[in-house]
Chain A
């Protein structure tokens, strides 16, 4: 399995497709970015750079929040895919969230997410064509190696927090989720 099917216990009818690609070329990333801005239907995915995605728990919190907001009709962003990016951010500004968490030509590692009813195998085939690479397994250990800790600390304002280096990923996850929950309040 190279992609993940996420089922939230509260929303079993809304499965989410999650996959990770590493070493994507800068040209491809630039194309993806242009096509996303042009709202090309073929590129209707949520693309994230891996610099600030601390762990699966962090990512899934955003998925849950976004699907919930989608169901309740309380989304702040225009689409569910943008909402996922926005809900990762501790700052109440969608443009800012897109800039920080969205696809970044300087970061060759990309997480692609899609909320859809289409069969996931088809989705993956299509995605492989766009990205031009094979997906790799996504888990906490892989993500830990891809995060940029100083940048994460800066975004989530954790420079004054007491962090135990041994459980860094765990602590950062807890603190980042806390910051996302409290965004704007």
Chain B
């Protein structure tokens, strides 16, 4: 299955070595060592780049498929460009080929001592499983990282942007500075409901991937989230925070979906 898709992408990217990093339902993510047009880009990692490719879906009508691929790719690039403009940490776009569903972006993240990529998930797991020391797992370093993630998500929401798929693997740590990735499900909304759902998704994700200490992690995440709403940079942050947290309580009771039908 994957081989077939790699052949498909290789047609559009001749002479580019590709290494599969991850695969989702919608897209494949590759890593490569070649920059498409410049060997010394103004980026922190100059020899690693990420390519996200949305393959054709054979079960869709070809015309609809082309339109969907193009629109989703454009939407994602727009979201990422806007984040860069707002100064919210996220990978910046190097190149995009909308009709073919290809996005080149900056590589972010470091290697952990055990060789894994420094996503929040792997980083916390490293503390939980490799170091396996409760005082370290709940230490100030982890606390500060969680608060920083909360601050980042708060900033995103205060700009009326919704990530849509907040999980601990979609947050990378670049030297304990969190970075958001994967904006395939992102949208724009000022509604407290959507922000609360976004937070709820993260809360559930933390509960299922880091069950042991998830209540601490979530507490710190929300602490950071509250902190940024109080900053002077954003007006009426306090009011928005109260609304979102009230909605979050509602969402916790009923789940992510608004209606119980279907």
Contact = CB atoms under 8 A, between A and B. Distances in A.
Interface residues of B, number: 28
B13 interface: yes
29 contacts: A9-B34, A9-B35, A9-B36, A9-B37, A10-B14, A10-B15, A10-B16, A55-B42, A56-B40, A57-B37, A57-B41, A60-B37, A61-B94, A61-B95, A64-B36, A64-B95, A158-B85, A162-B85, A169-B42, A173-B42, A174-B84, A174-B92, A177-B92, A178-B80, A179-B81, A181-B81, A181-B95, A182-B81, A185-B74
Contacts of A174: 42, 84, 92
Contacts, number: 74
A36 interface: no
Q: Which 7 A-B pairs have the closest CB atoms?
A: A178-B81, A64-B37, A170-B42, A162-B87, A60-B37, A60-B38, A174-B92
B16 A57 contact: no
B85 A185 contact: no
Contacts of A9: 15-16, 34-37
A179 B84 CA distance: 11
Contact of A63 (B14, B37, B41, B93): B37
Contacts of A8: 36-37
A61 B93 CA distance: 11
A161 B85 contact: yes
Interface of A: 8-10, 12, 55-57, 60-61, 63-65, 68, 140, 158, 161-162, 169-170, 173-175, 177-179, 181-182, 185
Q: Is the interface of A mostly helix, strand, loop or mixed?
A: helix
A57 B95 contact: no
Nearest to A163: B87
Nearest to A156: B85
B34 A178 contact: no
B201 to A, nearest CB: 27
Nearest to B83: A178
A10 B38 CA distance: 11
B93 A56 contact: no
Nearest to B13: A10
Nearest to B74: A185
Contacts of A175: 81, 84-85
Contact of A177 (B13, B34, B94): B94
Nearest to B85: A161
A161 B230 CA distance: 22
B107 to A, nearest CB: 14
B78 interface: yes
